[in-house]
């Protein structure tokens, strides 16, 4: 079934003279491990995923969804707040309606494929990759080997790579032995990895200041790692904007956004370079 869906999606791109295919990668987990054995129910932020997806589709591009294991992802229900759409209720409803139409979070009908299947299809079939935020990338995407391979391929070919908020932490998956490196970061070690393809890149993500201001999301728990700290430790040139204001940073193939307010800006920047 999923092979049929993907074949149809890739074929659809041929209907647009300048259409591209955007691979959107999200976690298929729904809980974040916190300090002291606590956990938090979470997932992708709805606006961070859907505002870019809506923009890609409106521009005629094909969108393919992938998760590490090909399971349906989950939305963070705390992100279903009109404030993340700048108070625009109509925009919120449009995002939710498309999400429902896509059936992305359906446990039985989700079009999400695995990163292993993406590799079998061929990375060259995709023109760009996009990773949205929500806290959940801090659980798995930052150390997923398959995602690290994909990002390395995109980097080597200077192919468009977009990320927002906590999604930018996924860049750490390209560190050799990302799992071991992340474990070190979570235990307090801040040594730079011996080799990281994004070392010296200008980038942004949800900032330490924003994390401090949004502790209520954690329900009294504490995160093992903040994205800003992890990216800086690895060698990223972190560009911090004002809290809760749009901040989009571009460096070579990488486009990153600081927070939920930056999702549309990341999509706009990506669309300028997609062809």
Summarize pLDDT for 130-187 with one digit per residue, the tens: 999 999 999 999 999 999 999 999 999 999 999 999 999 999 999 999 999 999 999 9
- 3-state SS class at 202: strand
CATH of 2-273, one of 3.40.50.880, 3.30.700.30, 1.10.8.420, 3.90.1510.10: 3.40.50.880
CA pair distance 71, 234, nearest whole angstrom: 30
Q: Across the chain, what does the average pLDDT equal?
A: 94
Spell out the domain ranges in the chain: 2-273
- β-partners of residue 162 are 130, 255
90-94: list long-range contacts, CB under 8 Å, 24+ apart. 91/51, 92/47, 94/54
Per-residue DSSP letter, 256: E
Summarize pLDDT for 234-256 with one digit per residue, the tens: 999 999 999 999 999 999 999 99
CA pair distance 56, 118, nearest whole angstrom: 19
pLDDT band per the 50, 70, 90 thresholds, residue 1: low
Contact criterion met (CB below 8 Å) for 198 and 175? no
pLDDT band per the 50, 70, 90 thresholds, residue 2: low
CA pair distance 272, 12, nearest whole angstrom: 21
Summarize pLDDT for 26-76 with one digit per residue, the tens: 999 999 999 999 999 999 999 999 999 999 999 999 999 999 999 999 999
Contact criterion met (CB below 8 Å) for 183 and 218? no
**What does residue 2 show for φ and ψ, rounded to 5 degrees?**
-65, -35
Angle at 149 between CA 275 and CA 40, to 5 degrees: 100
Summarize pLDDT for 80-110 with one digit per residue, the tens: 999 999 999 999 999 999 999 999 999 999 9
């Amino acid at each position: 079934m999923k092979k049929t869906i993907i074949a149809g999606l890739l074929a659809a791109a041929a209907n647009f003279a300048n259409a591209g295919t955007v691979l959107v990668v999200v976690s298929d987990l729904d809980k974040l491990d916190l300090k002291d054995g606590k956990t938090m129910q979470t997932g992708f932020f709805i606006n961070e995923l859907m505002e870019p997806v809506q923009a890609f589709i409106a521009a005629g591009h094909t969108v393919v969804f992938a998760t590490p294991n090909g399971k349906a992802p989950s939305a963070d229900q705390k992100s279903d707040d009109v404030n993340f759409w700048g108070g625009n209720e109509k925009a919120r409803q449009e995002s939710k309606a498309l999400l429902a139409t896509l059936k992305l979070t359906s446990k039985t009908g989700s079009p999400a494929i695995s990163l292993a299947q993406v590799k079998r299809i061929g990375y060259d079939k995709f023109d760009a990759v996009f990773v949205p935020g929500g806290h959940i990338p801090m659980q798995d995407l930052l150390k997923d080997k398959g995602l690290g391979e994909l990002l390395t391929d995109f980097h080597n070919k200077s192919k468009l790579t977009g990320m927002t908020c906590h999604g930018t932490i996924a860049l750490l998956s390209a560190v050799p032995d990302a799992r071991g490196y992340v474990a070190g970061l979570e235990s307090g070690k801040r040594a730079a990895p011996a080799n990281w393809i994004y070392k010296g890149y200008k980038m942004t993500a949800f900032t330490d200041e924003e994390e401090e201001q949004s502790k209520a999301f954690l329900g009294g728990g504490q995160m093992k790692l903040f994205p800003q700290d992890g990216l800086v430790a690895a060698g990223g040139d972190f560009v911090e904007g004002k809290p809760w204001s749009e901040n989009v940073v571009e460096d070579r193939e990488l486009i990153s956004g600081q927070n939920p307010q930056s999702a549309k800006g990341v999509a706009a920047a990506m669309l300028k370079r997609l062809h």
